[in-house]
Structures are given as structure tokens and as C-alpha cells.
Chain A
Amino acid sequence: MSLKLTESLQKTVDSLSQTFGEKVIEVYQSSGDTFIWVDTDSIIEISAHLKNELHYIYLSDVFGIDRYTSEERFEVVYNLLSLRDQTRVFIKVRCEEENPEVDSVTSIWPAASWPEREVYDMFGVTFRNHPDLRRIFLPEDFQYYPLRKEFPLLGIPGSIELPSTTPDSE
């Protein structure tokens, strides 16, 4: 698929692929948004480059995606906005199902602190070197990660029983 990039996005993609080469795994577009899938272990260097060289100083959001049955099950997406060029770019990293771990980018964008806690709370992805990695919405005593696909919509295992769904007459 050919990419239709604006000038500033083209600059971003070129600069990243020149500096990091193989570590930029894939660049693709969907519905007009640009996604860059990068190597998980070099997220800190890439983030620093994005912020210092390419002026992506505003981190809008960090969120997780559960790819379930696929290889490298969890995906963490960084939603970045360049305030100078007013372009938005999404950086993606993937991690394994067993012990998912990503380096925290709070040292680069302090705004990442709460969103990363949310990803940890919802998917169980831990962030290395996060200053305060606690659950954010659910209490610390809760054992599950609710946005994982295997978590049921109703009836948390071991919690209060669900009301009976069979009619009274039976």
C-alpha cells in the first residue's frame, strides 16, 4: 500500500528510518492516520528522538490493544502531537503475552504517567522504571485485567454469583 504523507509526516518517517533503520518495523496508514510500528526495546531512544529532533512535545494519550490469538499479543500505542507542525502520529510497540513489559516513557513525557497506569490496570502490561506504577481505576486488591479479551463481560470469577437466567417455572 502506498502512503500518502504530508510534508511534515514524510519528514518524521524519513528521519526515523534514517536514524533507526531496522528498528522501524512498519509504517502504515489507515483511515488517514499514520501508524509507525517500532522495536519495543528501543522505544526510549525513538521517543527521545521524536521529542528532541522532531518536536513531538505533546503526548496526547497512551493506550493498549489486546490482539488476542495473534503473536506478540499486546500492543501499546502512543498518540503524539507535534505542536509546531500540528501533525499527529501514532507509535506502536508490541510485547509478548507472558510477562508483557515495555520501558516507561515518563522520563520523556511526564504526561505518560497516568495513561501508562491505565494500560497496566486494564491489560497487565508493566512499564519498567515507571515512578508510581499502581492500578488507576480498580483497587489494588483486584486480581484481573479487565480489558483482556478472555475477561468475561459478566461474572468475575470468584465474585458474587450471577442471578439465575433460567425461568422460574423450570
Chain B
Amino acid sequence: MLKKFKENHENGTTHFILTDAKGVVLESNQTLFKLCTGAPVGTLHPFFFSIPEIMATVRETTSFHCVQLGSGDDNLTADIEVYKKKENTILIVVHDLTKHYLSYQAMAQSRNESLIDSELILLKNHELQERERFKNEFIQNFSHELRNPLTNIIALTNILKRTDLTSEQMRILSILKDSTSNLKLMLEDILSISMIAKGKLMLNPGVFNFPQLVDFLKLTYNTRAKEKELVFSITADEKIPEYLEGDRLRLLQVLTNLCDNAVKYTKKGSIALHIALNQKRANTVNLRFGVKDTGAGIPQESLDTIFESFEQLGPTEGVGLGLAIVKGLLTLMDTDIKIDSTAGKGSHFYFDVNLTYPLHQPEVPVLKERSKKMKPKRKKTSKYKVLLVEDDEQVQAALFKILIDTGDFYIDVVSDGALVMEEIVNNSYDIVLMDVNLPNISGDQLVKVIRGFPFKNIKKIPIIGVTANSYQADKNSYLKMGMNAVLSKPFEEDELLKTISRLLKKNSR
């Protein structure tokens, strides 16, 4: 210990100052500073200015670590010990530890910088999440607001189609119908992406016929490709079991989005969908789905952003949600999309997915598509009585026209939820068509009241809910409350009439 003190002393790293109680220098060894006897120690550095006052409150000794005593470029960092000595004197021992603290400073600087960086990243992340939440909420509200007018356009287009039209008017109407169909698809895409982002989308696995899914894609994209003079082909491994278990709808949504994109960005050449069996074990298969095109390809710098919502390569139709939906759905399926692409040569999107399959393949009868338009079977003696509850006047008019044109219904219309019960009690309706979002009392609340009514003829009335809210979870909750069916706006005339027909038929049994 003494040796070290001696070394320090001899090497000039420790300075001793003796002062009186007021801080006047009595002795100084001049190692680090030049101090004159009789000078106030506070003149050396502001640190020493406080020493006499501090020592008045201290019993024997105190110490100060890492005190910066330098000024400007003259760097001196010291640990300082202060002792009360006999005869009211103060001994100040200054240890020059500049070298030691320089390395500590570098460490503290780096630690602090990384701390600030990680905080900034967290803040940025929080801000991005807020923006994403706002975007999703906006999209959801916006798409919700579009559903009423779109329902109207679709209904009125169908009605118009049944009137006497010239061939030119028919051609314009056909364009109008195509446009509304596109708009409807975009709305469905927006709904899907908003559900994925909010974590509300759940997979709904079930057994499905795999060759039927392949046939559906073949039929759809053969036609679409031919329209653009492209060649479309599908190859599927024959060893893939006929029946698979998974969410057919979402798998189809992924594949149609990939094929849609391929058609959209390919001007000439071919599009190939290939489905390979990677592995088959116990009751699980691992399949590779790939869509390869000879289209525009994707520049390297865009590969990271193409899976973000509303990202598109150049001006094309659509809103740029397809690949974001693909990525979101595949994440739900515990897999990810991969891509090989060369700008100007084409792209290859592919993913591997695990699906299960029933060990005993079921003999499920193939359902044939019914081509005939469903119409409610009319009672021979009278028409059906329908209560139409809808507050949007235009949707109300469109639905009224659809129903009245069938010649099968008497229709009463109510636009206020508070008036519904009075109508139902005073009339005997065969079916109620009810908007969910109504003024005063909402449609779902009305259903609960109707289902709790003591009279069987009222309690059992078939009710079709009509809603601009397309979340499956919400539709399920309306069904749970007692609605017999729920239609999401916008819907096609056929869908409405088929649903009415089904419920009337069921109720007449």
C-alpha cells in the first residue's frame, strides 16, 4: 500500500494540499498544480471552492470520484479524498486517474449511444405501429362506407339488365357490371388485409377435394390467359392425395392472388402453376406451390417492399394488396412466400405448406353447380309477405325493386329500428330482411327481442341480416343472436333470392 502511494507520489500522480478550515492553502506538494501558500484553494478550480463548506458538515473524511478538473484541452480526471485533520486543517489528496477514466469514458459513451439508439428504434417502431393502426382503421371505415352505394349499383345494374335495352346500352351495362365486380373484389381484398393486420383472420380448416381446386384454377386462368394471348398451364404431382385438410378458401385466395398478379404483369409468354409433393409422412403432406411467369419481373431493389400493402410496380389496375394478402395468409399457415425474379425476364413465386390428409379418403359426392337462377317457390294461393328494414333510402329502393320484380312478394318497408316491433306484431310476415346498422335500435338487438317473443309465429320468423360489416366473427355473432342468415353488402341479386328461397322453403316444412 505504502509502496503504491510512494510510487504515485514519485511518478507525480498524487497531489497533497493542506488548507485551513476556510480553504486557505497551508502546504502543497506542487505535483499536479502550482499552488502558492496563502492562496484560497477555490482559485485552483471551482471544485475546491465548495470544500470548506462541505467539510463543515462532514465528521472525518469524504471522497469524490471521477471529478473533472481539467479545462479546455487540459484533461485531468481525479479521485479526491478529503480529511479533517488536527488543528482545524483539511487535507486534500488528489489522485490523477485520467488514463483510467478515459477508457471508462469511451465505454460509457458507447453504452449510452447504443441505449439511445435502441430507444429511438423503439419509439420509431411505436410510431409505425400507430400509423399502421390508423391506416387499418381508416381502410376498414372507408370500405364499410363504400358497401352501401356499391350494393345499390350492383342491384340497379341487375334490374337495368332486365329492361329493354339497345345493343349499345347492353355493351355499356356489361362494362358497368365488370367494373362493379372489380370494385367488389377490391373491397374484399381490403377487408382481408385489414383482418390480417388486426389479427382477426382465422384459418378455417376442412377436408376439400384437391383435384377440384386444381380444375377450378385451370378453368379460371385458362380463360384469363387466353384473353391476353398467354399460355397457362398447371402441373400437379399425381401422388398428392385426392382429399386434403386445410383452409381451402384461403389457399385458393393465395393462389388466385399469385396467378392474378402473373396475368397482370405478363404481356407475352406463359404462366405456369406447379404443385409438387415435397414430402408425405403419416397423415401430413408438404406441398410446394409455385407460380412462374415470363412477365415484367421485379427489380432487386423492390423485392423487399412488394409484400407491403398498396405497393405496386408501375401503373396497373388494382390497389396493390394482392401480395400483402398472400404474405399475411401464408404467415397464418406457418409458412412464407419466396421469390426469384429478374427484371424483364419474369418471376417465380413459391411457398411450401404443410397440409394434413384423411388416411381414409372420403367418398364425397361431387356437388354439381346449379346453373338455374334460384327463385322462391311461390305459394299457389298467395304471395309472401316481406318486411324490409333498411334506413339507407337508395339501398332500400334497390332491394325493393329486386323483390317486387320477382312478382312473389308483398313488401312493407321500415327505416327506423324503433318501428320494427310494431310492424311485426300487427302484420304476419313470412320473412324479414333486416339491416344491422339501424337508427334507434340496431338490427342485432331487434333480433334478440323477436327471438324472445312469446308468440311462436313472431318468434320463428326467418330473419336475414344485411350488413356492411364483413368480419366473419361479427357475422357469426349475428347468427348466434338469432338471425337465420347474414348477407354482406355488396351482394348479388341471386345471392339474396337464393337465401330467401332457402329460408322460406325451410320454414314451410
A and B: partners? no
